[in-house]
């Protein structure tokens, strides 16, 4: 047992604090975060969010009152070229025959940023401390778009702000106001164990969305929502276990995943049901810890027991900021 658990014990030696959406959590060791690729930021690429070695983070989503793209792969000159193209496109749109084809530049305080609006949407581009950021929304006002631009700031790896607001990878948007839309899902990859992916999502529940119980959501994800493989076998005679995230009762399960190429991996999943009728913000929460053997980079992959242990300890750390 000592030999089996040794890799996990080693990863716990240097924990990393992180925040996702309006929550904080503790990762078992230093981790890389998946961001928007340079190609996705400048020209479009699907899927757009990946790790440095091009491993896809298929579940990640950077949605807070609109959709964000966040990249550290662009140089200042790359970003300046993108900004010039955006300005040229906005200027050229003035000659378009229909109003919904035109874009207007909004006044902002930062010369390194650009904000725009059309009849259906608004957004911005900005570059802060080596991080390129774009934002586009159809759900909030032009003024809210400008407010987000002028308040968004970068944050260091492992920095968890004390002020109210929303954490995105490498970014923080201070706000104590209700969120229009929030689906912040971030995928981390342990540097000591590159086969271990940790995904956490903070999803604001809207009144018109289907309402699944924690167990129904857990089953739905395993049976196809995440597309993790061609088959999943849950462990135990009674695989559904009571697990808490931020003190809220949820459902956890451990599964053996059969990939499309018949290789085997493991996943640990926790789901907690949100409540759109609650007097305070009560979102859906999801934690998914997965072993991806193919991404191990020559290191010994972790076991099913280790995936479960990592998942349990991360789950226990999740707290509302």
Q: Where are the domains of the chain?
A: 2-320
**Whether 135 contacts 143, CB under 8 Å:** no
Distance CA 250, CA 260 (A): 29
Distances (CA, A) of 135 to 93, 123, 132, 148, 228: 20, 5, 10, 9, 29
Using DSSP's 3-state secondary structure scheme, residue 145 falls into helix
Output b/e per residue, 30-41; b: 16+ Cβ within 10 A: ebbbbbbbbebb
pLDDT, tens only, 145-175: 999 999 999 999 899 999 999 999 999 999 9
- pTM of structure: 0.93
C-beta contacts of 37-44 below 8 A and 24+ residues apart: 37/71, 37/73, 38/71, 38/73, 38/74, 38/78, 40/69, 40/71, 41/69, 41/71, 41/73, 41/74, 41/82, 41/132, 41/134, 42/74, 42/78, 42/82
- In terms of Cα–Cα distance, which of 74, 52, 24 is closest to 202? 24
Q: What is the pLDDT of residues 124-146, one digit of tens each?
A: 999 999 999 999 999 889 999 99
CA atoms of 46 and 63, how far apart (whole Å) = 17
Question: CATH number of 2-320: 1.20.1050.90, 3.40.1000.10, 3.90.550.10, 3.40.50.150?
Answer: 3.40.1000.10
What does the alpha-carbon distance between residue 175 and residue 206 come to, in Å, rounded to a whole number?
A: 19
Q: Which pLDDT belongs to residue 15?
A: 94
Q: Is the pLDDT of residue 102 over 90?
A: no
Query: pLDDT-derived band of residue 1, with 50, 70 and 90 as boundaries?
Result: very low
Mean pLDDT, all residues of the chain: 92
Q: Write the CB contacts of 283 (distance below 8 Å, at least 6 apart in sequence).
A: 21, 22, 182, 202, 203, 204, 205, 274
Q: Which residues are paired to 197 by β-bridges?
A: 189, 290
| Of 282 and 210, more confident | 282
Which residue reads 């964000």 in tokens? 68
* pLDDT for the residue numbered 13: 56
Give 9's pLDDT tier (boundaries 50, 70, 90): very low
pLDDT digits (tens, 9 = 90+) for 308-317: 999 999 999 9
């Amino acid at each position: 047992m000592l030999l089996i658990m040794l890799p996990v014990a080693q990863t716990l030696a240097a924990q990393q604090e992180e925040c996702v959406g309006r929550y904080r959590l503790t990762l078992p060791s230093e981790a890389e975060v998946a961001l928007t690729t340079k190609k996705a930021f400048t020209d479009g690429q699907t899927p757009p969010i990946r790790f440095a070695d091009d491993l896809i983070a298929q579940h990640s989503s950077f949605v807070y009152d609109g959709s964000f793209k966040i990249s550290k792969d662009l140089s200042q000159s790359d970003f300046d070229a993108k900004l010039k193209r955006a300005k040229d496109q906005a200027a050229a749109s003035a000659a378009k025959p229909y109003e919904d084809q035109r874009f207007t530049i909004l006044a902002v305080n930062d010369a390194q940023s650009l904000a725009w609006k059309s009849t259906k949407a608004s957004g911005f581009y900005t570059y802060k401390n080596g991080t390129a950021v774009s934002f586009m929304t159809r759900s909030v006002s032009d003024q809210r778009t400008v407010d987000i631009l002028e308040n968004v700031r970068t944050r260091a790896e492992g920095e968890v702000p004390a002020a109210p607001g929303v954490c995105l990878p490498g970014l923080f948007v201070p706000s104590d106001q209700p969120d229009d839309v929030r689906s912040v899902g971030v995928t981390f990859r342990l540097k000591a164990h590159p086969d271990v992916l940790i995904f956490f999502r903070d999803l604001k529940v809207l009144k018109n969305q289907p309402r699944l119980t924690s167990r129904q959501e857990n089953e739905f994800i395993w049976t196809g929502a995440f597309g993790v493989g061609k088959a999943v076998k849950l462990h135990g005679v009674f695989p559904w276990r009571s697990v808490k995230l931020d003190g809220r009762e949820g459902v956890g399960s451990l599964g053996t995943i059969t990939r499309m190429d018949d290789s085997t991996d493991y996943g640990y999943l926790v789901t907690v049901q949100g409540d759109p009728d609650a007097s305070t913000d009560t979102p859906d929460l999801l934690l998914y810890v997965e072993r991806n053997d193919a991404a191990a980079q020559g290191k010994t992959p972790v076991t099913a027991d280790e995936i479960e242990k990592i998942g349990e300890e991360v789950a226990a750390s999740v707290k509302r900021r």
